[in-house]
Structure 1
Amino acid sequence: MSRPEALFPLFADLETLDGVGAKSAKAFEGLSVTRPRDLLFLLPYSGIDRSLQAGLSDYILPTTITIEVEVLRHNPARNRSAPVVIQTRDSAGEVLELVFFHARGDYLQRILPVGARRVVSGKAEANDYAVRMVHPDHILAPEEAKTLSGWEPVYPLTAGITQKTLQKAVASALTRLPDLPEWIDPGQMAKEGWPTWAEAVRRAHLPMSAQDLAADHPARARLAYDELLAHQLTLSLARARMRRGRGVESRGDGHLQARVLAALPYRPTGAQTRALSEIAADMAAPLRMNRLLQGDVGAGKTLVAMLALAVAVEAGGQGVMMAPTEILARQHHEGLRDLAASAGIRLELLTGRDRGAERAAKLAALAAGEIQVLVGTHAVFQKDVVFHDLRLAVVDEQHRFGVAQRMELGAKGEAVDVLVMTATPIPRSLALATYGDMDVSVLDEKPPGRKPIKTALVTTARIDEVVQHLKRALSEGRQAYWVCPLVEESELVDLASAEERFAQLRAALGEGRVGLVHGQMPPTDKDAAMARFVAGETGVLVATTVIEVGVNVPNASIMVIERAESFGLAQLHQLRGRVGRGAAESTCLLMYQAPLTETGERRLKTLRDTEDGFRIAEEDLAMRGAGDLIGTAQSGLPKFRVADIERQSALMAVAQSDARKLLHDDPKLESPRGKAARHLLWLLDQDRAIRLLTVG
C-alpha cells in the first residue's frame, strides 16, 4: 500500500524548497529535518514583536525595536577590527546609531544612502553616549515595511541554519499544504473549536501574539492531538494484531498453583490475588493476552509470575521468563526454583553461557516438552530454541523491550500470551504513551512483613561517621550496599569513583569484607562478586547502578547512596528497594554534596517522606520530563514533535479512547473517516501501522 499522492510534495527533497541548497539541506539534519513535512512540525517556540512604532521614546531599552529613521552620516571604520557606525534619527530627532562589523562600505552606502528614510528592526541598547543597534535584522524602504510581519516567529536553530533560512524554508513548505480529508470525529472538533489540519499548521507557524504559542491554543492543541492519535492508532493496531492471533485457551485447574501457595510462609496480598485472576482470565480467553504487570519495588511480582507460569503448565503447555541481563535471569531462576520444585514443575535456566552438549541437552528437553518453564536472557529468542508448546512468555523489566520486540516474542509460539513485568511505577500518561497496546494490572500493596525503610539525608562531609556506622553493622552480621555514581575518574565531574571508594572502604573495614561490581567488569567477575555477597562472604558491596534492578539479598539492610543528588528519583527509589527484604530494620542513607540545588533538595526530601513508588514517579515526571524519566535511548518512548506528554496527559487519554473506538467500528480503516486516518498515519510516519493493516 503506497503513500497517498496528495502527500507527495511534503515528502520530496528539501532542496525543492526556496532558499535550501545542498549545504543547508545537510545542516537541516541537525534539527531532524530531512523533508518538507518535517518543517511543518518544527514549530516556533517564541516570537519577536516587529510592529512599527513612532520612535525610540515608545520603547524601554534594551529590547527589539522597529522604527522609521532618516540616515544622517556614515562614520567609516578607523581600522580593520573597528566597526562602521551609521548615524540616523527618528521622527522626534533622537539619534540611533547602526553598527556594522566587517561590512563593506559600498554595500552600506547602497542600502543606507545618506538622506534616505529607512525602517530598521533589531535589538537596541543604550549606553552612556548613544542608543545603538548592532547589525539590524531588517533594513527596508518605508514602502516595503508592509512585508514585515507584526509578530515574527522564532524557531529552534542548529549550526549552519539562520532564522532567515528557516523562515524562508517554512514559508515555502506552507505553500504545499494539501487539503486532506478530516480524521477527527466531527463532535470532538466542534467541542474543542479546532481548525482543519492545514489551517492549524498555518496558524501554528504564523502566530500573532505570545498567546498563539501556548500548548492549549486551538491550532497547537489540534496538532498535538493528531500526533497522539496517530501513535495510539499504531499501538491499538499492534494490540489488535496481537489479539487476532488465534489465542490458545490455557485453562488451569489450580492444582499446581495450590502447591506453590502451600509452600509460602505468608498469604498473597489482595492485589496479587486480583492480578492473578486478571491474568488467568486472559489466558483462558481465545484472544491473545498482552498484559503489563506493574508493581512497586517489593510488591511481589515474582510470585504472580510463578503462579501465571503454573497456569500454563496446568493447561498442558510451557512457559518462559525472560530478563534483560544474565544476573537478573540467574536471580529469577533462584527465586523461582524452590517455588517450582514445591509444585513439581521442571524449571531450567538458559543463558548465552550454555554451550555444547549441555546446551544441546537443554534444547532437546525443551523441544520434547520435558522442561516446563524456561528462564533466560535474550538467548531464548535464538532460532534454535524450539518449544514443544509455548503458552506464556513473561518479560521482565519492560522498558528494554519496545513494541517491536513484543511482536517478535509473540512469533515464537502459535499465539503466545505475553505478560510484561516492570518494577518502575509509571505515571498514567507515560503508561498510555509507552504501553497503550497493553492491558494493565497493578500491584499496589506491599506483602505482609515488609518493614518500612528508614531514609535519612547526610552530607558527604560526614562520610567518616557513615563508615563507623557500617563497621558496627558488619560486626552485628549485617550487610550493606554502597552505591557510587561513576566508574572512572572523570575530569568533567568530580564524582567519587567506585574503584577509589572500594579501596578506601577496604582499608577501613578489612581486606575480605568489601566487594566491587561495576558496568565495565567482565560478566563472570561481576557474577562472582555478586555471588560472594549473596553468600554473605563479603559484608559491603560497592557498586555502580548495575544493582538497580532485581538483586535480592534479604540480609542486606543498609543502602548508602553517594552523591544521591546526581540520581533521578525513580532510580533512587529502585536502589532503596534493594534493602528492606529481610527481618532486620533497614536504612537508606542519601549522601549529598552541600549546598543542594532547589530541585536536588526537593528530590531527596520527596524520597525521605514517602515510599509510594507511584507518588514518586508522578513527582519525578513533574520535575524531569518524560524522556529523562525512563532514559529516552532505551525507553521506547515515542518522540513527539508537538505533543507534550507530561502536560497533555488528558489529551493522550482522549486520543487512546478515540483510536480504540475508531478501530472497533472500522478495524481495517476503510470508511471515509478510516481512509482519512490512513492519511494521518502516512503523514506522521507511522508506516508500521500501515503495514499492520495490510498484514492483518
Structure 2
Amino acid sequence: MFNMPLNNLKGIGDKKAAKLKKIGLSTYRDVLYDFPVRYIDRRKIVNISEAPDQVHVTIRAKVLSIRFKVVNKSKKEIMILEVMDSFHHGEIVFFSPQYIQSFFKTNELYYFFGKIEKMGALFKMMHPEYARADDKLFLSILPVYASTLGLYQSDLVRLHQQVAGLLSPIVEETLPMSVTALGKLCTLQDALYQIHHPKDEQTLKVARYRLIYEELFTLQLKLIVLKNNYHRAKADRLEMDQEVSDFMTHLPFKLTNAQVKAFEDIKVDLKSGNSMNRLIQGDVGSGKTILAFLTLLMALRNQKQGVLMAPTAILARQHYESFKQYFGEKYKVEILDSGVSAKEKKRVKADIELGTVDVVIGTHAVLEEDVLFKALGVVITDEQHRFGVRQRTIVSQKGDNPHVLIMSATPIPRTLSLILYGDMDVSIVDEMPAGRKPIKTHFVRPSKLEEMYVFIREKLEASRQVYFVCPLVEDSETLDLTSATAHYEALKERFHDFNVGIVHGKMKTKEKDLIMESFKRNEINILVSTTVIEVGINVPNASVMVILNSERFGLSQLHQLRGRVGRGDEQSYCFLLSEKLSKDAKARIETMVNETSGFEIADKDLELRGSGEVFGVRQHGLPELKLADLSKHKKILLEAQKHVKIVIAEYQLGNTEMIQYIDKLRLEINETFTL
C-alpha cells in the first residue's frame, strides 16, 4: 500500500499527479513522509481591539452586507463583505467572488483567518480563509506544505491528512522497543499522524521530537555500521621511549597546550592495545603536521612502518621535505606519487615490502594494490575530506589493524562532526603557535581598489608575496566574474616590475607543481590562482591574500583560502573583493571580517546554509535530514549519540533485538549511502 501511486486516491487525476510529482510526491509513502514546512495556528479568536496590525489572526464576525465592485484597471469583479465583531466594523475583500458568493449570508456569523490591516476604528482583511462559526474544525493548527504552481494548500492538506489517516495505523515501528524507551519517544504511528493532524502544541512537539530523534539516531548508527567500526580491533601496543621525549624537548618551538593535549590522547590510544581511530580537528595553521611526525616517530621506535597520505603531490612533497628537515637521514623515507617514474616506483614498492622503508609519504598512489608493507603500524591521512571512507579503509587494511590518525584543517561544525565522526575519538587543536598574528581581513569596495593596490605594492617592495584568487580559470560569456587568466594579464601590466605567475586546475600536475615551487622559493612575487591553492600550501613569506568575487565562495572555502597566509611571523592581510552582495553573501563576508576561528566560522556556516549543504553532508552522500537541523537540535543529537553507543554495546554483548536491528540497517545501507 505504501508504494501505491497517488492517482489511486479520489480527486487525484493524471494532471494533478504530474504536478505532485514535480514536488517529489509520487506514492503514498512520499506523502506520509512529506512533512509540513510550518504550521498556522487558527485556534485563538481575537477581538479586533487586541489584534496587532499586519499580523495573521482569527476573528469571529457577523456579515452585515455583501456588495460587488468592478476594479477599474483589471475590470475584474471583487466581493466586499461589511462585517462587525463585538465593537469594530470592517471589510473583508475577496478577489474571485464567483466561487464563494453563495457561501455567505447576511446576519450570520463566520470565522475569518488572514492578515489584518487597521485603519483607525476600522479594519480590512484581503482574501482570508473562512468558515461558518459553527465549524469548530476551522479552529485548529493547520499544516502548510511545500507547493508548486497549480497546487493549492487546501488540496495538499486534504491529501496529506487522507494518506496519514490511511497509513499511520498500519505503519510498523522502525526503532527497537528499548530505544523508544531510552529516548522516551511516542510511537511512529502517533508521530506520523500528529505531524499531519496536530491536536495541540504538545502533541506536535512530541511528534516532531520523535521524528527528529530517529533521523539523527539512525544516521549516526548507519555511519558506524557503514564504517564497520562498531568494535575496536586489537592492535600492537606502541610505547613512548626516550628518543620521542628528546625529540619533543629539542623542537625549535614550544608545543601549544592544545598540541600537548592532542598528543597525550594519541599516546593513550597507541598504548591501549586497540587500534587507534582518532580525528585531529585543527584550525588552519594550528600545527597538526608535528603531531603526525610524533605519531610516525612512535611507530618507528616500535619497529613499525608508517604512512602519511596527502591529497595532492605538492602537499605530499611538502611533508616529505619537512620530515627530512626534522629527522635527516636517520630514517628511510620514500615518496609515492604521480611524479615518481615507473622504474623508481617499482624499486620503492619492493623496499616497502622488504621493510627497509620506514615511512611512506604519498598521494592516492599509496592505495595501489601492489603496495605491500612488512609491518605497517600507523596510517595518517592529511586533509581527510579529500579521500573517501573506502579509500582510507584500503590503506588501513594493508597492515594488521594499524593505528589510524586522520587530520583535518577543514572547519567542520561541531555538531556535524558529531555525526560524521560519531564513531571516532576527536582531539581539537584550537590554539595557534606562539608568535602567529591573527590575519587582518577587510572587505574592499570597487571605490577602494586603488588604495588596496598601493598597499600591495608596498608589501611587494618589502619582499613579501601576494596571492590573487579568482573563481574561474577563463572568462565566461554567461558569468560576470573575474577569470584567473584575465586577471593575470591585468596584474602583469600593473606590476610589470615584479614576477607574476598563474596556476589553475586545467594545468598538468607537473606544471602546477613547478609554479608552486617557484612561488615557495620567492622567484614568483604574485601568484594568480583558482581554488587549487586551497589545501595545505605553506609559504610563510606570503602575507597578502586577495579573493576576487568573494561572494561566490562559501565560508569554509574563504577561511581555507585565507589560511594560505599568516603562516610566518609577519602581519598578514586578506582582502575580500565584491561588487554585488546578496543578503547571505553579506553575512558570510561580515563573518570573515569579524571572526578568525575556523570552528566559529564553521558553526556560522551551518547556521547560514543549514545542514543539507554544509561540507560533509552532500559530499558524503548522507541522506537528507527532513526535520532535523544540526544548528538547532544539538541536544537531541547528543542524546541520540549516547543511545547509539548503548545499542552498539548491546550488539557486542549478543542482544538479539540489537543484532536483528543492525543487520536490517546493514541491508539498507548500500541503497542509502554512497561513501
Identify whether the pair has TM-score above 0.5, normalized to the shorter chain: yes
Measured after TM superposition, the shift of residue 298 of structure 1 is 1.4
Whether 1:43 and 2:10 are equivalent positions in the alignment is no
Structure 1 equivalent of residue 643 of structure 2? 658
CA offset at residue 557 of structure 1? 2.1
Q: Of 207, 212, 219, which residue of structure 1 is paired with 2:198?
A: 207
Offset at residue 660 of structure 1 (A): 0.5
Letter in 2 for 1:219: A
Looking at structure 1, the residues matched to 623 and 456 of structure 2 have their Cα atoms a distance apart, in angstroms, of 44
Output the CA distance in 2 between the equivalents of 1:610 and 1:486.
Answer: 26
SS, match of residue 229 in structure 2: helix
SS of the counterpart of 1:287? coil
For the pair 1:519 / 2:505, whether they are aligned, the reply is yes
Distance 1:29 1:409 in 2: 43
CA distance in 2, matches of 1:24, 1:412: 56
How far apart, in 2, do the equivalents of 1:616 and 1:34 lie?
39
Structure 2 contact 366–395 (Cα < 8 Å) conserved: no
Cα distance in 2 for residues equivalent to 1:324 and 1:169: 50
List aligned pairs for 1:462-541, cutoff 5 A. 462-489=448-475, 494-510=480-496, 513-541=499-527
- Asked if 1:423 corresponds to 2:409, the answer is yes
Change (3 A) 1:64 1:315: same
The CA distance in 2 between the partners of 1:490 and 1:452, in whole Å, is 35
Q: In the alignment, which residue of structure 1 is the partner of 2:189?
A: 198
Query: RCO higher in 1 or 2 (8 Å CA, sep ≥ 6)?
Result: 1
For residues 241-300 of structure 1, the C-alpha deviation after alignment (integer angstroms, 9 at most, x for no partner) is: 336364331424547646755774234334333322322332333322211011111121
Q: Which residue of 2 aligns with 1:444?
A: 430
Find the residue that maps to 1:380 and give its secondary structure: helix
- Range moving further from structure 2, 418-427 or 359-368: 359-368
Q: Contact (CA 8 Å) 1:381, 1:409: kept in 2 or not?
A: yes
1:669/1:675 contact within 8 Å kept: yes
Contact 1:332–1:375, Cα closer than 8 Å, also in 2: yes
Aligned-pair CA distance for 1:646: 0.4
1:6 aligned residue: none
CA deviation map 1:630-684 (0-9, x unaligned): 2753255653111111011121111111210232234377455x479669x76xx
1:249-328 equivalences under 5 Å are 249-252=236-239, 254=241, 257=244, 261=248, 264-328=251-315
Distance 2:248 2:386 in 1: 31
Alignment of 1:223-238 (within 5 A): 223-237=211-225
> 1:47: how far off?
3.3
CA distance in 2, matches of 1:14, 1:404: 39
Deviations 1:178-222 (A, max 9, x none): 253634353642xxxx5333212222212356x5798xx222122
* Counterpart-to-counterpart distance in 2, 1:252 and 1:560: 46
> Of residues 222, 233, 258 in structure 1, which corresponds to 2:210?
222
SS state of the match for residue 641, structure 1?
coil
| Equivalent residue runs for 1:330-345 within 5 Å | 330-345=317-332
Work out the CA distance in 1 between the residues paired with 2:632 and 2:29.
Answer: 25
Change (3 A) 1:238 1:669: farther
Separation (CA, whole Å) in 1 of partners of 2:620 and 2:431: 26
Q: Describe the shift of the 1:361–1:121 C-alpha distance in structure 2 as closer, same or farther (beyond 3 A).
A: farther
**CA distance in 2 between partners of 1:690 and 1:245 (Å):** 26
Whether the 8 Å contact between 1:244 and 1:288 is mirrored in structure 2 is no
Displacement, 1:448? 3.4
Q: CA deviation at 1:394?
A: 1.3
Count of paired positions: 661
Structure 1 alignment gaps of length 5 or more:
1-8
SS at match of 1:462: helix
Provide, for residues 382-433 of structure 1, a one-character-per-residue CA deviation record: whole Å limited to 9, x for no partner.
3333333333221222333455554454434332322111113434212212
Runs of 5+ unmatched residues, structure 2: none
- Is the 8 Å Cα contact of residues 18 and 168 (structure 1) preserved in structure 2? no
Give the superposed CA RMSD.
4.6
Counterparts of 2:230 and 2:575, CA distance in 1: 45
Percent sequence identity over matched residues?
Answer: 33
Distance, in Å, in 2 between the alignment partners of 1:499 and 1:530 is 17
Corresponding residue for residue 632 of structure 2? 647
Contact 1:516 1:542 in 2 (8 A): yes
In structure 2, C-alpha distance between the alignment counterparts of 1:40 and 1:230, rounded to whole Å: 19
Structure 1 residue 488: Cα displacement: 4.1
Matched, 1:152 2:142: yes
The counterpart of 1:688, out of the listed 648, 658, 669, is 669
